[in-house]
Amino acid sequence: MIDINSEKKIAVLIDAENAQFTVLDSVLKELSKHGHILAKKAYGDWSSEHLKNWKQPLNELAINPIQQFSYTQGKNSSDAAMIIDAMDLLYSNKFDAFAIISSDSDFTKLASRLKESEVYVFGVGEKKTPVAFRNACDDFMYTEILKDRYAIKDETTLNSAEKPKQPELRSKRNKLRQDTKLLNILRGAANEYQDEDGWSFLGHCGSLIKRQYPDFDSKNYGFNTLSQLVEAIELFDIDRRATGTGAVHVYIKDQRKSA
């Protein structure tokens, strides 16, 4: 059984033909939160003019470039090399997590195969990434979100964004309430774990949501945590309960059940 909270030994495989070098630093920073990155490899035809700007970030981030010539026009031959390397790394038994950096649906089968071997699979790609690949991963992250999250903001921007105005908060809340899919996801998870009084432990809800929707992330909606997202919607009652160890567990209850 995969322990999603354990410190993972991660292999990072980058499809340079379908990724952006400008997000590499942000991606590696985010993956480092989940464990230790032991291998970093990027695949592409480095003689191609298309990849000329990759040299500096590859050097700075200590990513190993793997050369794969494009023998046929229009065919991405680096895909095969990346898949073969992934299986070699899998059979080495040194890794319990893989990160596939690509927006290409061709890696759907690879992600599924890695999961069959009970390793955790991170997917990282643009929002245009086909849903089949996103759902084949245990956790899928959008590069647009990661890039914004780690962007360096100047002091003026930080100061101006310290406290959103009330009209802005109301507008954001109304937009969230109109997101039928989001509400169904949250209510479905809460309903699955509710006790006899209708309360659900948010930690369990979050784990279920991630299993059902690998690309779900509260940060996609502009919130650092799931509890902040749920609270902003204002359709759930919130109960914070202190534990004997000093921790605080958050419980939620659909307000329709309180009526």
Average pLDDT over residues 165-170: 71
The tokens for 123 are 């997917």
Contacts of residue 134, Cβ cutoff 8 Å, sequence gap at least 6: 123, 125, 140, 214, 215
Structure confidence at residue 214 (pLDDT):
87
Phi, psi of 184 (to 5 degrees): -65, -40
Tens digit of each residue's pLDDT (9 = 90 or more) over 129-155: 999 999 999 999 999 988 877 764 433
Q: Choose the weakest-confidence range: 96-100, 157-161, 212-216.
A: 157-161
Q: Is the pLDDT of residue 187 over 90?
A: yes
- Give the separation between CA 79 and CA 159, rounded to whole angstroms: 45
Q: At what angle do helices 166-177 and 226-233 cross, to 10 degrees?
A: 90
- Give the separation between CA 43 and CA 61, rounded to whole angstroms: 15
- Give the separation between CA 81 and CA 83, rounded to whole angstroms: 5
Structure confidence at residue 219 (pLDDT):
86
* pTM score of the predicted model: 0.74
Structure confidence at residue 7 (pLDDT):
78
SS3 241: strand
Tens digit of each residue's pLDDT (9 = 90 or more) over 196-228: 989 999 999 998 998 889 889 898 888 889 999
The alpha carbon torsion through 10, 16, 17, 20 (nearest 10 deg) reads 100
Average pLDDT, the chain: 86
